[in-house]
Amino acid sequence: MAVYDCMTFLTDYGLEDGFVAACHGVAARIAPTARLIDITHLVPPGDVRRGAAVLAQTVCYLPPAVHVAVVDPGVGTARRAIAVTAGDSILVGPDNGLLSWTIDALGGATSAVHLTNGEFWLQPVSATFHGRDIFVPVAAHLAAGTSLEATGDPISVADLVVLPAPTSRLHDGEAEGEVMSVDRFGNVQLSIPAADVGRLGIGIGMPLLVRCGRRQLTVPYLDTFAAGAPGEIIAFTDSAGLISLAVNAGDAAEQLGLPPGAHVRLSHAHAG
């Protein structure tokens, strides 16, 4: 019966419509004293992997909370609605993998329920807006002190849908990975942890060979993008501990033509 004074909210609803505000309103009616932090509502429509990555990389900086995430291309189909306890928080959303990387980031799920108790839903439930009608009202009730058990049927945490983790492995003197995301600055975040590059013996100040598709280029591995010369492509360890490619005062994603999901390999420059 813990009470949470914070909720967070991530969706692909966009900001042009009243969708997000309707959810804020529903939450405010049920849990009027809870603070609600918007994570983002600009996940590309239906992009579950992108939503999963943003949530997992942000959650450690948020207070203990009931986190609601809705990127739900299967809304209205048989996919389950779930609530999961992990660490000191509760996660609420569709059981399509969206929550899985965040569950890992919080140390793993300790319990889970299939949301089946309509008593905590906004009735009548629409077929297409479960954020407003199921996820947010249930989350707000949880924040206000309703027990997890009351909201549905217990399910095994081993049965939750898990999103395949981004490719990342050390292999034959190379760190292999994929483009996780491109941020507003055009910085290209790879799925390769800085620790893996370290394991290859590559340290700050050393040249790094980057291979993507048929292209290969050698870039310096620096402390920060601002340490690069203007226009120079560099690698750095980003704020999530992952290797990112950047151009000081420029757009690396555009220069490199690297979209999310693209395969990238890093190694010692002299290995090229």
Q: Which residues of this chain interact with a copy of itself, rule CB under 8 A?
A: 5-6, 8, 10, 12-26, 28-29, 32, 35, 37-42, 45-46, 54-55, 57-58, 61-63, 73-77, 122, 126-129, 132-133, 181, 183-185, 223-227, 236-239, 248-249
Is 178 or 251 the residue whose CB approaches a copy of itself more closely? 251
Is 157 or 240 the residue whose CB approaches a copy of itself more closely? 240
Q: How far is the CB of 271 from a copy of itself (least distance, A)?
A: 26
Is 45 or 173 the residue whose CB approaches a copy of itself more closely? 45
Q: How far is the CB of 98 from a copy of itself (least distance, A)?
A: 14
- Which residue has 């190694």 as its token pair? 267
Is 15 or 162 the residue whose CB approaches a copy of itself more closely? 15
Q: How far is the CB of 177 from a copy of itself (least distance, A)?
A: 19
Q: How far is the CB of 52 from a copy of itself (least distance, A)?
A: 11
Residue 222 parent element (H or E): strand 215-222
Q: Following CA atoms 40, 45, 50, 56 in sequence, which dihedral angle do they give, to the nearest 10 degrees?
A: 40
State the Cα–Cα distance between residues 103 and 124, nearest whole angstrom.
Answer: 30
Do 178 and 261 touch, CB atoms closer than 8 A? yes
State the Cα–Cα distance between residues 74 and 245, nearest whole angstrom.
Answer: 34
Q: How far is the CB of 253 from a copy of itself (least distance, A)?
A: 13
For residue 202, the Cα-to-chain-centroid distance in whole angstroms is: 28
Is 75 or 210 the residue whose CB approaches a copy of itself more closely? 75
Of 82, 124, 73, the C-alpha closest to 103 is 82
Strands 89-94 vs 188-193: parallel, antiparallel or unpaired? unpaired
Q: How far is the CB of 12 from a copy of itself (least distance, A)?
A: 8
**Cα torsion angle, 143, 144, 147, 153, sign:** negative
Q: How far is the CB of 55 from a copy of itself (least distance, A)?
A: 7
Is 14 or 257 the residue whose CB approaches a copy of itself more closely? 14
Which residue blocks in 156-203 are alpha helix, DSSP H? 194-199
Strands 89-94 vs 66-70: parallel, antiparallel or unpaired? parallel
Of 135, 121, 140, the C-alpha closest to 28 is 140
Is 174 or 188 the residue whose CB approaches a copy of itself more closely? 188
